[in-house]
A and B are shown apart, each in its own frame.
Chain A
Amino acid sequence: MKTRIQSVAEVRDSFARQGYICNDQIALAVYLAAQLRKPILVEGPPGVGKTELAKASAAFLEAPLIRLQCYEGLDEARALYEWKYGKQLLYTQLLREQLGGALQGADDLQASMARLGDLGDAFYSEAFLEPRPLLQALRADEATVLLIDEVDKADQEFEAFLLELLSDYQISIPELGTVKARHEPLVFLTSNNSRELSDALKRRCLHLFIPFPDAALEQNIIAVRVPEAPAELRAQLVDFVQRLRQMDLKKQPAISESIDWAKALLLLHVDVLDAALVDSTLNLLLKHEEDLRQVRDALPSLISSRRA
């Protein structure tokens, strides 16, 4: 991993080269996290580029990205490590005879136990250990970017389990002892705020809130992501999406949706937005029936007021 970051501007420029357009705040967060060796907790509405930020950072730092997607019921076995139970079982079955041989000549129970003890750790050794993302990140040969995605979806116990990792970059495994990171990873946690995260977790992280971008930034983003779209259309499109976000919708259109929409309009060879066209492509922006109906009803005013 790249260890020396000169300035915030360097981060921002590198992101821009990758097509990830962001404001100073986001670049500052990455800069601080890399300098202070602290995890970043990224919150914000869906589709504002939280996961993208981690990917862009990994590319910028020239570090591999390891991703752990959280979900309800995620436990240590899935996140950290697991014993390959099936393999262990298979080996004991296959090696039954060798085991018998190894125990031959032992006079009494005590001696057998002692011999078994010598062998014992064989079945709980590296060969039977299945490393999951967290352990991979800790044992990697170079520093990594670890993305723990949608941590709010995981249970609270899992959150508590993460605390040791986040503050000390180490994890205690009963059978193996404490595993300390060979190279401290840069950790990103993302959350859609579907539930309040615990204070203990927040305390250990830098907290970055990414809101929907303002019109100028969104235009920039679309210009970079969909360069073929004419400037006129871009302005209209961003203006319309920004208006939608003012409305009381169930799910507001995110940046990723504006990008999709821009791509679709481009495919349709559209140069100027009009009501009929918006109506027919609206389902790219809005994913709920109620929202669609509400916007369709307001469409004349949304379009006409823009022309005015």
Chain B
Amino acid sequence: MSEQVIGQFVKALRGADVAVSTSETLDAVRVAALIGYEHRQSLKQGLAMVLAKSEVDKLAFDECFDAFFRFETRPAGSTSSAPPEPSSLLDKMKQWMPGQQGGGSGAGADSELGQALLNDDAGALNRKVAEALKAAGVENIQVITQKGLYGRRVMQALGSDALDQEIIRLANSEVPADRRLEKQLRDARQQLREQVREQVAGQFLLQAREHGRQLRESTIREVNLRLLSEFRGVHQQIERMARRLARKHGRRQQRARRGRLDGRRTTVTALQHGGVPAALHWRRRRRQKPKLMVICDVSSSVSAAARFLLMFLHAVNDVVPSVRSFVFASRFAEVTTLFDELPPEKAIAEVMDRYAGPGTDYGGMLQQFVDLCDARIDRHTTVIILGDARNNDLPPQQQLLAHIGQRCQQLFWLNPEARGRWGSGDSVMPIYQPYCREAFPCSNLAGLERFVDRLLRDIARDAG
């Protein structure tokens, strides 16, 4: 019983983006059993201790708890799928039905549902509603606009068709008692509809928020970058992905700093002990700071990809502290300071505003990059170029790319076009490709994430 309530609650929490593991759910069940449901405040604090383990999570937890346990001051008997205020529904129905004495035969209503409504048995009614919810498959609800549809299905599963017909029949009757009954049934039906609607809405909150989020996330990852700016919440998702990658690789970078045995120091100190190496000395491993230089084509054809790559790379700067960003379309410029000064979203808007435009010249870009940065490229530098390599039939200047490739640690090329289109038309991709350590197509966030993942892995390893 309590497992079920906690299970539902955990589901709601997950929907609110709080990561709860199975073992934590089990802990929550034990905590609930230990504290009991009577002490609401203690229950809240206790569950918060096992379920929400950061400040962000605690905020979400408070909100969820208040919403979820609003009606659950005391969990009802067997119908435990979050029954919203059954007693109050019953009270209202009693008010409207002064003539009804509980436990009667349904006072003349023929339809099964009508009898149940007029019977003074909220528990039975709730059970019926719970069954109907299951029969209508409400747990499959995915988007909020389906609420009406599922509400109707639940009503049908409850047997509302027969009730509707009975109400129509009674409405046409001349007998005053029938008319009174019709009025009662109508009111009761309205009450029931509201109850069902609330339950369906509750189910949506519990189930679909989680499911819908997953659906949206996977869509966002797979959709082409060009179309991505249409989606809401893309920025948050990129940050989430970046945080995950940063955590993963940040950890690796903090490898043991103890290096090999320092033979010289060990021997020297051993002399004090008559040549017995009583104390061992170790070398410290020196950490190399990785450097990253990113050059993005921001001409209209590929600017979307540039936008997201820049967002990504600046979001992982915990791992890669030094990122220099350059953009070019018709002009070439460094935009690192923009990212230092402004929040990423604004910085990117500013970059696009200033530099986006038609007419890319890759040869010219390479020349300017070498002029500007040649001295700063060393064997700890990773250079990333993002662009479609469509050079408008200008000279490609591949010898400059070769030069960069030789000086830096590694050179990657990201191309927003699919591999099959590299080299078609004015694309000089096949000329550039041999000078890159690797070239990737990147048309969606999933591809971008894969690339950044791999990049950070390389960087962390080389820095170790």
Contacts and interface: CB of A to CB of B under 8 A. Distances in A.
Interface of A: 8, 24-25, 28-29, 32, 35-36, 38, 41, 73, 85-86, 89, 93, 155-157, 196, 198-199, 202-209
Interface string B375-412: 00000000000000000000000000000000000000
Given A86-B278, A207-B53, A38 B27 contact: yes
A211 to B, nearest CB: 10
Given A8-B42, A199-B53, 18 more contacts: A28-B35, A28-B46, A28-B49, A32-B31, A35-B34, A36-B30, A36-B34, A41-B53, A85-B278, A86-B278, A89-B276, A89-B278, A196-B54, A199-B19, A203-B53, A206-B50, A207-B48, A207-B52
Contact of B254 (A38, A156, A209): A156
Nearest to B276: A89
A208 B50 CA distance: 9
Contact-residue size bin, chain B (C-beta under 8 Å from the other chain): 20 to 34
A207 B52 CA distance: 8
Contacts of B180: none
B30 A207 contact: no
Contacts of B127: none
Contacts of A35: 34
Interface string B246-282: 0100010010110000000000000000001010000
Contacts of B276: 89, 93
Contacts of A203: 21, 23-24, 53
A25 B52 contact: no
Nearest to A73: B257
B interface, over-half SS: helix
Nearest to A207: B53
B45 A25 contact: yes
18 contacts: A8-B42, A28-B35, A29-B49, A32-B35, A35-B34, A36-B27, A36-B34, A155-B254, A156-B251, A157-B254, A198-B251, A199-B53, A202-B53, A203-B53, A207-B48, A207-B50, A207-B52, A207-B54
Interface in B33-73: 34-35, 41-42, 45-46, 48-50, 52-55, 58
Contacts of B254: 155-157
Contacts of B45: 24-25, 28-29
A152 B310 CA distance: 31
A191 B23 CA distance: 22
A207 B46 CA distance: 9
Contacts of B256: 157
Contacts of B19: 199
Query: What are the 3 closest A-B residue pairs judged by CB atoms, nearest first?
Result: A207-B53, A202-B53, A206-B49
Contacts of A207: 48-50, 52-54
A212 to B, nearest CB: 14
A28 B48 CA distance: 11
Nearest to B255: A157
Contacts of B53: 41, 199, 202-203, 205, 207
Given A24-B42, A89-B276, A155-B254, A209 B55 contact: yes
A156 B247 CA distance: 11
Of the listed residues A89, A196, A205, A209, the one surrounded by the most CB atoms of chain B closer than 10 A to its CB is A209
Nearest to B52: A207
B189 to A, nearest CB: 46
A32 B31 CA distance: 7
A126 B300 CA distance: 72
Contacts of A204: 23
A208 B257 CA distance: 32
A41 B34 CA distance: 20
A74 to B, nearest CB: 12
Contacts of B30: 36
Contacts of B50: 206-207
A93 B275 CA distance: 12
A206 B54 CA distance: 11
Of the listed residues B21, B45, B58, the one surrounded by the most CB atoms of chain A closer than 10 A to its CB is B45
A59 B23 CA distance: 30
A32 B278 contact: no
Nearest to A200: B21
A202 to B, nearest CB: 4
B261 to A, nearest CB: 14
A93 B278 CA distance: 12
A204 B34 CA distance: 18
Contacts of A38: 27
A89 B275 CA distance: 12
Contacts of B55: 209
Contacts of A155: 254
A36 B31 contact: yes
Contacts of A36: 27, 30-31, 34
Contacts of B247: 196
Contact of A32 (B24, B34, B257): B34
A203 B257 CA distance: 28
A90 to B, nearest CB: 9
A32 B21 contact: no
Contacts of B52: 207
A209 B278 contact: no
A32 B46 contact: yes
B106 to A, nearest CB: 49
Contacts of B34: 32, 35-36
A25 B47 CA distance: 11
A208 B21 CA distance: 18
Contact of B49 (A32, A89, A93, A198): A32
Contacts of A73: 257
Given A32-B34, A36-B30, A208 B49 contact: yes
A92 to B, nearest CB: 9
A206 B52 CA distance: 9
A120 B398 CA distance: 66
Nearest to B55: A209
Nearest to B252: A156
A195 to B, nearest CB: 9
A156 B256 CA distance: 10
Contacts of A86: 278
Contacts of A202: 53-54
Contacts of B251: 156, 198
Contacts of A41: 53
A82 to B, nearest CB: 13
